[in-house]
Structure formats: structure tokens, C-alpha cells
Amino acid sequence: MSMLVVVTEAVPPRLRGRLAVWLLEVRAGVYVGEVSRRVREMIWEQVTQLAETGNVVMAWATNTESGFDFQTYGENRREPIDFEGLRLVKFKPIESDM
């Protein structure tokens, strides 16, 4: 079992309700809990099925150099990248209508 954090933004209420079944919503759209790998994977499956809008990031404790790993779903300016084996976040430029 490991600590899990899920942050949602502009997702359907059905997904927020589903996340609240397994995790504690400590702030609007921020869920935390301690779950097994199997439950974490099942939660991610629900995210990918129910998040028709918005975006989600899921982070969990693991045995890596940084001590955690994460994955994202949906459109966001923050893009996960791999830099020499280390997971980092790259910011996409702001799109303008010029």
C-alpha cells in the first residue's frame, strides 16, 4: 500500500463521486488515500473512462529516486517528460489568437 494523491480540474461530477468512494476529498478536486497498486490501477481506469472533460493528475509514493511517480490525463499546459530517467514537468507555451 502506498499514499495516493489525485487532483482533478473541471471533471464531471460522476468522476468526483467515484473518486470519493475510495479516497478522501481534502479540498475541492483533491483526493488522498492509501491504496494498493491494484486499487490505484482500478481508480486510473475509472479516470480514463469518466473524465470526458477536464484533466487529472495522479501521484503515488514509489521506490524511485524522487520517491514518487505520476501520470496525467486530459489537456493541460503541464506535460510530463523523462529527463535521463527522472520524471519532470515541462510547461507548454500559452497559445495566443494573434
The pTM of this model reads 0.86
CA–CA dist 88, 92 (Å, integer): 13
Domain positions in the chain are 2-91
Give the C-alpha distances (Å, rounded to integers) separating 20 from 8, 15, 23, 38, 66.
12, 9, 5, 17, 27
Residue 2: what pLDDT? 93
Q: What is the pLDDT along the chain (98 residues), one digit of tens a residue?
A: 999 999 999 999 999 999 999 999 999 999 999 999 999 999 999 999 999 999 999 999 999 888 999 999 998 778 887 888 778 888 888 876 65
Q: What is the CATH number of domain 2-91?
A: 3.30.70.240
